[in-house]
Amino acid sequence: MIWDAHIHTLFSGDCETDISDILEQAKVHHLPGITITDHLDLVYPEDPTLFLLDLPKYDKTIRGLCDESTDIPVRYGIELGLAEGTEKEYEKIVTAYDYDFVIGSSHMVHGKDPYYPEYFAGRTVKQAYEEYFKSILENIRCWDGFDVYGHLDYVVRYGTDDRNPYDPNEYMDLFDEILKELISRGKGIEVNAAGLEYGLAHPHPAIPIIQRYRDLGGEILTIGSDAHKKENVGYAFAQIPDLLRACGFQYYCVFQNRKPEYLPL
């Protein structure tokens, strides 16, 4: 099995799962290790305090877990919800705390979360997708203090059009820009299994995007379940190695002290 590098606990505003339950499930799946990556979204107009994180308490708890866990290795991460105007504060945070791993993600798009139907109101699904993908590019160009970009096509979990199913190739010009920016800045992407858990036929991002990242010279690839519940730790991980080998990868990455370690698939 493979390392799960994207897991949430009760420190995240949308999660009630105890850390001990996470560890128990990781052992059930014989995972070689896990990285805890709880949410911090400094800008979330839908509920401004929902994704704020008690950083000192989080640091003390997860650092202690990293030092004390003997059954399974644990590393210390964070998932930052990127948005315009957060750059200076996020830079202070990643400087102040010794994270092993920092995921940059887009949850908000110009003040709206695609989780809510209002994001898609009054326009086509394609227009909504394009705004989301363009916002990723804006976020990368504003601040690149993260290690990998998480769930690049997160938006497709929530917006569907049965007449025009999501085809990542329709947006590949935008994805090319995103991937080239990430590669040029030494950043990776995440393969997020939550897409499969949500009933999609692919993880995030979709297979053509992972393939394109590889074709462009991308090498830094982490794998995460994005689990918010105990039962989703390591979800669908048995499918991931063959999927990635088909895209040209023979390895994936786990971060320690903000540096990637390359492990065979």
Return the pLDDT at 149. 98
CATH number at 160 reads 3.20.20.140
Question: Hey, what's the torsion of the CAs at 97, 99, 101, 103, to 10 degrees?
Answer: -30
Per-residue pLDDT of the chain (265 residues; tens, 9 = 90+): 899 999 999 999 999 999 999 999 999 999 999 999 999 999 998 899 999 999 999 999 999 999 997 789 999 999 999 999 999 999 999 999 999 999 999 999 999 999 999 999 999 999 999 999 999 999 999 999 999 999 999 999 998 777 788 999 999 999 999 999 999 999 999 999 999 998 888 999 999 999 999 999 999 999 999 999 999 999 999 999 999 999 999 999 999 999 999 999 9
Distance CA 221, CA 218 (A): 8
By the 8 A CB rule, do 46 and 70 touch? no
Closest CA to 25 of 223, 193, 239, 233: 233
Return the pLDDT at 2. 95
Express each pLDDT in 166-178 by its tens digit: 999 999 999 999 9
Return the pLDDT at 77. 98
For the chain, the domain total comes to: 1
Return the pLDDT at 46. 87
